[in-house]
Amino acid sequence: MASLPLWGRVNGFNNQEGECVYGSKNLARKLLLHPPNFRSSSTHDNLLQGENLDHQNHTNSETDNVKEQSMIVNGTSHAFRGWYADGPWQGEAHLYKMEKVIFEGKSEFQELLVFESAGHGKVAILNGYLQLTEKDEFAYQEMLTHLALCSIPNPKKVLLVGGGDGGILREISRHSSVEHIDICEMDTMIIDVYKQFFPDIAVGYKDPRVHVHIAEGIGFIKSVPEGTYDVIILDAFNSMGPSAKVLSKKSFLETVAKGLRAGGVMSAPADSLWRKGFVVADTIALCKKIFKGSVNYAWTTIPAYPSGAIGFMLCSTEGPEVNFKIPVNPLNPKKNGVAKGPTKFYNNEIHAAAFCLPSFAIKATDDDPNMF
């Protein structure tokens, strides 16, 4: 989900929500922002630095608007004021109209930009990758969480790797059977910024069952005793690498599987089925060999993400059989934990539908159509 500036001749359209979608053969890494009283970041020209927010080199802007944003078109300066380009993805980029830059900062590990958009609410860009928008973040958070937790009875102990924004914690809190929630996040800047600027997402940290571990994700998983967790949710691919590469590493998957109890479940984001050359059959075969239980690919729609969709990989370890297509542990709409109201996207029907794939995707996931 790379967020990269845009170069190239563009042909696009504006819609009523302040978005612009472009197709281009020439995409490159230059987007110049020139709001008042800001200095360009040495790492990303589309990130800015301002006044200190706290003692960890976090920065905050009270600028009410973005003065100018320029794109280079085949070497010629072309002014396009107040837009942020997210792309490229297969020759496309998605632009967001920026109303106000809210935060920009750099920690020891990464850089974060938060701005108010015209149509998607607040938008967070982490290390040049679109992390989430207020408009549709719940779709990703709810699906990644509940496809796993609703597929097994009475989950009690859950590990979240990454997910420092707190949204997945918010979703885990809906499950009253859960007794203990560990989150491993390597960067306190992420936690601090989301608590300040995205309180309805970071509300997950208010659950007393949550235990925060500031550590690198892979190292933390390796330290976990065998059979510790009922569910492990991975949401740390910006720091671990592209999802396809992470999910193809046998040693890493073996470590995750070791941390799960018999019949335990892993949930992780996977490539969109609309990605060019989409094939996950090898990953599925590897996961089946390592986890030795059920392995399924699911997907859902998320407008802000490249292609408007994202995939999920669900794996269970050997033990009690898990049928991911059937939510045996459905949510109680009257018990929402620290979340403010019931889910906005996930329900039992959406759960089952997530595993219904178009014909071309069935072929890309496995030669056996009965697998799904």
235 carries an active-site annotation:
yes
Contacts of 199 (CB under 8 A, 6+ apart): none
Distance CA 169, CA 145 (A): 9
Distance linking the first and last C-alpha atoms of the chain: 26
Distance CA 243, CA 248 (A): 8
The catalytic residue among 86, 136, 235, 271 is: 235
Q: Which residues are the active-site residues?
A: 235
